[in-house]
């Protein structure tokens, strides 16, 4: 159930499911800047393509493989561009360009024409509506011959981009 929710929040079509951040046509986009790959310059352009109010509270969203691609970016001297830094608590800070990131398994991979990275103030730009009560139905009949009782749980959830200017997605060039 949670896997389906994550997929819908990223790429849902709003027909009987939440609207995805990548499918909303009003969410802006920034180009990665170099063929079918991510670039440091493209990530910087992404961060600066939304208003400062949203950028201050901005968070990156991408999948684990995209994180690996970002960490592999090197400058002309062969040095890694993004290096993990220490936080005040003494552990490694999960930031890129000073902004936190969230790994979302449902984000697309880096590839021509894809949107593998999203950035923005998701608290202001995206609304998740979660019905508090979960409905649980006890079904003692379906598997009665095997001595089992079946339980069916159902939960309602919705999501929608409510402030498109607070979110931007990065398109990988073709």
Examine residue 31 and state whether it is found in any structural domain, yes or no: yes
Examine residue 38 and state whether it is found in any structural domain, yes or no: yes
Q: What's the pLDDT score for residue 134?
A: 80
CATH number of the domain where residue 13 is located: 3.30.2320
- What percentage of residues in the chain have a pLDDT greater than 90? 56
Question: What is the pTM for the complete model shown?
Answer: 0.82
Q: What's the pLDDT score for residue 91?
A: 60
User: Is residue 59 within 8 Å of 155, Cβ to Cβ?
Assistant: no
**Beta-bridge mates of residue 103:** 62
Which residue from 129, 105, 117 is spatially nearest to 27, judged by alpha carbons? 117
How many domains is the chain partitioned into structurally? 1
Q: What's the pLDDT score for residue 170?
A: 96
User: Is residue 91 within 8 Å of 132, Cβ to Cβ?
Assistant: no
Q: What's the pLDDT score for residue 85?
A: 60
Examine residue 159 and state whether it is found in any structural domain, yes or no: no
For residue 86, is pLDDT > 80? no
Examine residue 134 and state whether it is found in any structural domain, yes or no: no
For residue 87, is pLDDT > 80? no
Segments of 64-162 assigned E as strands: 85-86, 92-93, 95-96, 99-103, 117-120, 126-130, 135-139, 150-154, 157-161
Over range 131-147, report the average pLDDT. Answer: 85
Question: CA dist 23 to 28, 77, 99, 121, Å?
Answer: 11, 38, 24, 17
* Helix ranges (DSSP H) in the chain: 2-11, 40-47, 52-56, 64-71, 122-125
Examine residue 99 and state whether it is found in any structural domain, yes or no: yes
Examine residue 152 and state whether it is found in any structural domain, yes or no: no
> How much is the mean pLDDT over the chain?
88
Place 143 in a pLDDT band, splitting at 50, 70 and 90.
Answer: confident
Place 92 in a pLDDT band, splitting at 50, 70 and 90.
Answer: low
Examine residue 56 and state whether it is found in any structural domain, yes or no: yes
**Structural domain that includes position 108:** 2-122+164-171
Examine residue 60 and state whether it is found in any structural domain, yes or no: yes
User: Is residue 174 within 8 Å of 111, Cβ to Cβ?
Assistant: no
25-51 tens-digit pLDDT: 999 999 987 777 898 889 999 999 999
Q: What's the pLDDT score for residue 166?
A: 97
């Amino acid at each position: 159930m949670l896997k389906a929710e994550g997929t819908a929040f990223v790429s849902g079509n709003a027909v009987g499911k939440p609207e995805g951040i990548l499918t909303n046509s009003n969410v802006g986009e920034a180009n990665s800047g170099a063929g079918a790959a991510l670039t440091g310059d493209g990530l910087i352009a992404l961060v600066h393509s939304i208003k400062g109010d949203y950028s201050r509270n901005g968070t990156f969203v991408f999948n684990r493989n995209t994180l690996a691609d970002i960490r592999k970016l090197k400058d002309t001297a062969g040095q890694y561009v993004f290096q993990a830094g220490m936080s005040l608590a003494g552990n490694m800070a999960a930031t890129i360009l000073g902004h936190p990131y969230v790994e979302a398994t449902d984000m697309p991979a880096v590839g021509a024409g894809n949107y593998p990275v999203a950035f923005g103030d998701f608290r202001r730009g995206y609304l998740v509506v979660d019905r508090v009560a979960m409905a649980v139905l006890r079904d003692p009949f379906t598997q009665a011959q095997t001595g089992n009782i079946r339980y069916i749980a159902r939960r309602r959830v919705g999501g929608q981009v409510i402030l498109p200017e607070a979110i931007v997605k990065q398109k990988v060039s073709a």
